[in-house]
Structure formats: C-alpha cells, structure tokens
Amino acid sequence: MKEYLRDLTDLSKEDILKILDLADEMKKNPDKYTNALLGKTLLMIFEKPSLRTRVSFEVGMTQLGGHAIYYDIATSPMGKKESISDTVKTASRYVNIIMARLFKHEHLTEMAEHATIPVINALTDFSHPCQVLADLQTIREKKGTLKGLKLAYLGDGHNNVTHSLLYGCALVGMDISIGSPEGHAPMESVVNKAEELASSDIVVTNDPIEAIKDADIVYTDSWMSYHIAADKKEERIKVFTPYQVNKDLMKHAKKDAIFMNCLPAMRGMEQTKEVIDGPQSVVFNEAENRLHTQKALILTLLS
Ligand code: CP
Ligand code: NVA
C-alpha cells in the first residue's frame, strides 16, 4: 500500500477491503486499540470549515492513545511567508502523520510529495476519499455486501464526493449512476479512470429517474459545497431542483434502498426533510463511521 492517501486510486480493492475489515474490528473491540498509537501525533491542516472531519480525526487519535493538533491555515505562514514544501518538511520532523483539508487538490499532492511522513486527503475541491471509505463501511453494514449493488448519486456531479464515489464504487465492484444537470457532470478524466478500474457499470445521465432506477443506495451531497461562492445559490437551486431527492424520486429506487448524504445537509435543498429524517436514511451511521474508518486508515498507514 502507498504511504499516503491523495485519492482512492492510491488504494487497491484489497487495500480498501482490508481497511474496512480493520474498521469493523476496531468498531467492535475499541478497547483493544487504546494504546495502538501511544506517543504518536497527527497534524490536522484546515483551510475550510468542518464538523465531522475535524472531530472524528481528533477523537480517533485520542481513542488510539495518540494526540492531534488542529492547525488553521488562516493563522499559519503557509502560502504567505512559507511554501507548502517547507511547511510539510518541517512538520515531518515533529509529527508522525498529516491530514489536510484544502481548496486546491494540487496543494494536497504537493504535500504528499514533500512530506517524509504519511499525508491524508481530508477533502479538496476535487475529492474526499475518507468520506467514501466511511460510506463503504456503512453500505456493507446495511447491505451485507458491496459487489453487485447499485449506487445512484443525484445532484452536483462535478463534486469532490461524487468523484470519490466513482473511484470507490469502481474499485469494489459496485454499479454507479450519476444523475446531474448539464454542465455539472463529473470530470471526464474521473469517469474515464473509473471506467478503466471497473468491472461494474458506470452511467452518467441528465435524467434523474434513469439514474435512480432500482438503486440500492441513493446518495446526494450539498448543492453549495464549501468552495462554491454564496452568490451562486439562487442559480444553483434552479439548476439542481429537478435532482432533489424527495419521496417521489425515491419511489423509483428499490423499496429497501438506503439514503445517504455525507453531511452537512440542507433540508429542502438536495433532499427533503422526509427523506433525510425518514426510515431509509443512514446519514448518522455514515458520520459515525468516519471515526472507525479513519482510525483504521491511520493505523494502517503507520504500521
Ligand atoms: N462530511 C464531512 O466531511 O463533513 P465536515 O465538512 O463536517 O467535515
Ligand atoms: N461537497 C461538499 C462535501 C462536504 C463534506 C463540500 O465540498 O462542501
């Protein structure tokens, strides 16, 4: 396995399944791992807001006997008086592992290149691999398997979570169908790469009903990602409304389909309240599994 996680394509199918198995085991027997990272430190570099990522990584390190440092780029010399390369080379002399939530994906890959310790992508504008590891754990818990299932993603296709779902589904053998408006499809290079990796089906369509038809998992994400300017809101509501996951659209998925959203979520936007707060929703299981999958990922990278 590589010594960093920039994207899920840094992992093989076997790597992913090993991390998920370890995450399941750590979730079941947390007490066995309380000293696993004694004396180890994680540096958490943040350029964007967060609830889940920040708290789950920090709690994860505490539960493993280690320590985490929150480092806000706004109060750092990085990008102003200090290069990314000097920042991570210096940090590599103090801490054992770095995670970073950044705007530009190139900055994350630059960190991974220059750090002498593992670097984890904790979300960039391009991808969000940690989220999808937690989502795969959640899907396997709920459905008992991954291979052969169909995941439908509705809404903003040109999106970090969507890109990571494409890679994740392709790697583990799940069909994925993206329903997004024209001009908001996933990046072509990501779709091509996912097709190369996949033995399963990959569909990108403008038709929300075609996308969601017979899905086992229905997934949506914010129409207003952290990097989208606030003045785009009205225009985006208009464009994405036909892709809103509501009761009517859910009727086209399988009866026992689960509903997922990486959160944060806006009721009345990418999904209705009745869907996200309804019996098919597993959004808080996904949120919880961020903790378990990241603990397993850190332990794997540091072993
Ligand atoms: N899903 C997720 O990454 O949430 P945060 O933005 O709160 O970290
Ligand atoms: N696409 C969302 C994911 C948040 C976890 C964003 O980038 O804001």
| Shared-domain flag, residues 151 and 267 | yes
* Residue 3 belongs to some domain of the structure: no
Give the residue ranges of DSSP H helices in the chain: 13-28, 52-63, 84-91, 105-114, 129-143, 160-172, 188-197, 208-212, 233-240, 247-250, 273-276, 283-302
* Residue 177 belongs to some domain of the structure: yes
* Residue 1 belongs to some domain of the structure: no
Nearest ligand to the CA of 124 is 2
* Residue 46 belongs to some domain of the structure: yes
Domain containing residue 41: CATH number: 3.40.50.1370
Q: What is the largest CA-CA distance in the chain?
A: 56
Position 23 scores a pLDDT of 98
| Shared-domain flag, residues 277 and 294 | no
| Shared-domain flag, residues 62 and 105 | yes
CA distance 117 to 203: 37
CA of 225 to the centre of ligand 2 (A): 5
Nearest ligand to the CA of 286 is 1
pLDDT band for position 1 (cuts 50, 70, 90): confident
Can 236 be counted among the known catalytic residues?
Answer: no
Percent of the chain at pLDDT > 90 equals 99
Report the domain count for the chain. 2
Give whole-number Cα distances, 147 to 1, 198, 255, in Å.
22, 11, 19
| Shared-domain flag, residues 108 and 166 | no
Percent of the chain at pLDDT > 70 equals 100
| Shared-domain flag, residues 147 and 257 | yes
The pLDDT tens digits for 246-290 are 999 999 999 999 999 999 999 999 999 999 999 999 999 999 999
CA of 114 to the centre of ligand 1 (A): 26
CA distance 209 to 193: 25
| Shared-domain flag, residues 152 and 244 | yes
Ligand 2 atom with the shortest distance to the CA of 224: 8
Peptide bond into 77 cis (omega under 30): no
| Shared-domain flag, residues 139 and 281 | yes
Q: What is the mean pLDDT of the chain?
A: 98
* Residue 121 belongs to some domain of the structure: yes
φ/ψ of 120, rounded to 5, equals -115, 135
Write out the two tokens for 2.
């590589």
| Shared-domain flag, residues 33 and 177 | no
φ/ψ of 67, rounded to 5, equals -145, 150
CA of 221 to the centre of ligand 1 (A): 11
| Shared-domain flag, residues 47 and 71 | yes
φ/ψ of 52, rounded to 5, equals -60, -50
Average pLDDT in the 232-240 region?
A: 98
* Residue 77 belongs to some domain of the structure: yes
Q: Which of 52, 105, 184, 290 is catalytic?
A: 290
The pLDDT tens digits for 144-201 are 999 999 999 999 999 999 999 999 999 999 999 999 999 999 999 999 999 999 999 9
- Domain of residue 111: give its range: 8-127+290-302
pLDDT over 90 at 15, yes or no: yes
Position 253 scores a pLDDT of 98
| Shared-domain flag, residues 250 and 162 | yes
Average pLDDT in the 201-224 region?
A: 98
| Shared-domain flag, residues 78 and 181 | no
φ/ψ of 218, rounded to 5, equals -115, 125
pTM over 0.85: yes
Centre a 10 Å sphere on the Cβ of residue 262 and count the other Cβ atoms it contains: 25
The pLDDT tens digits for 63-87 are 999 999 999 999 999 989 999 999 9
* Residue 2 belongs to some domain of the structure: no
| Shared-domain flag, residues 159 and 56 | no
pLDDT band for position 108 (cuts 50, 70, 90): very high
